[in-house]
Chains A and B, each alone.
Chain A
Amino acid sequence: MEVQWPLLVFSVLLGITSGSFVFLAVGELTGRFKNVRFSGALIAFACLAVGGCVSVLHMGHPERATHLLGNLGSGLSKELFAVAIMGIVAFAYLVLAKKDYPGASKALGVVGGVVGLVLPFVAGASYLIAARPAWDSVTLPLMYTGAGLAMGMLLMCGLVLLGDRAAEDGGFAAKLALVGVVAMVVTALAYVAWIALAPHQDPTRSLERLISGDFAVAFWVGVVVVGLAAPLALAAFVCARTGKARAAELATCVFVAFACSAAGAVALRVIMYGVGTSVERFIYQ
């Protein structure tokens, strides 16, 4: 099917929010990253807000949103609730980050981390539709979660390395970012494997489109080289060089890795929509 750009942008921004909050939650649990709590939560909240606004562009009649409570079992309704909860938690955490309530910040940060883990999974799970075999696998929401972890953690790691506690927290932040990137690589490859294994195989949703077909450039350059290999190499490099190289230079590497992982997430989602053809396409594609 055609690329649904508002949904694509929404899912990428939502992923950044999620990964950021998982990072901040780990910081709350380990007593680190206090100096990036506000800036990190602000960026995460802004991403969610902008993503939410962009997603509205996908609808023909957003003014009828009151009807969204009409079917709570729908994947879209669940996604909406998860976004709303994330938004409330993010906003409350943002307010608390400016105050000195360590207990409340810690509790809310952990809740934010849990919701951050759940949110991209719920968003991806709304694509579990039997009619579109290339989507109908748990690997898709896992891919959303993995990309979110990488993007959010890289972004937060960059903030830590730019901050005044880079020497103390930089190494741990870099390790966390590397964990996020590894999660992204594993889940992205798992999703690509699903495309090859999905039932009702058809040329429109075949692995050949990625390997040597019309998605070859998006896959090899966008996903493999830029989206997965580059962030992995950069994150590993930063991990190895933390404490030895200047924090600002390492932060640059991390931000480049973040940009690469975001570009890779976009490329993989473009492919996801492209191979997301229905079992039969009788009247419309």
Chain B
Amino acid sequence: MRNEVREALIAKLTALADDEVILAHRNSEWVGHGPILEEDIALANIVQDELGHATLWYGLRQQLDGSDPDQLAFFRDANQYRCCELVELPKGDWAFTMLRQYLFDLYEAFWLEAARHSTYQPLADAAQKIIREERFHLQHTRAWIERLGQGTEESNRRLQQALEMQWGYAQQLFVPIPGEELLVAEGIVPDLASVKERWLEHSTRHLQAAGLKLPINPGYQPTSRTYHTEHLWSILAEMQSTARWDAEAKVW
């Protein structure tokens, strides 16, 4: 693999893993606070799955540059993280959390479907493994969008409010990272433009069927993963505190 392709792949794997870690940690804030025990468990399951996916992506990076996944997750500062801003936003209410997870699951499912055909075999294998779980996540969050959208006036209003906040942020999922065109040219990762086309078509149809209006003005659309919201600092402070407090701990 050419050096610049390798560097781009390392950066892409980092972005993929960082999205999963931050979204998982954000959703883990619901543990013990879910609207009902069954949904509390369901969201915790999704969180564990997303952390598993992050482990896979960091693991692929480790094969390329020997980096330690735990070091990356727990000892990088916010400005070294490459997650998108959507996953950083505070958890909000249940509608906000379900909508974000739905928009993310739909993107991830389509990206993985295409990534199964990657010319880089370890990535193709990982995508094949992950997509099974992602299909189930998507069924669950899609069901919530329908129920909140068509539920009561209150649930529809909350979901609509969440959509207006998140729609612009969600577009960042389809902004390539610097050097990503090299990976696409080599067939290593899917072209985000075609993933976005499917995502837009499906999400628009489903959201409208659930009685929601797509924002006419999409609002703020982040473009670079080197910039973050203020929320990333506080979530990392909490997530990393134990590891940083006793970095040498062998047994907890």
Binding partners A and B: no
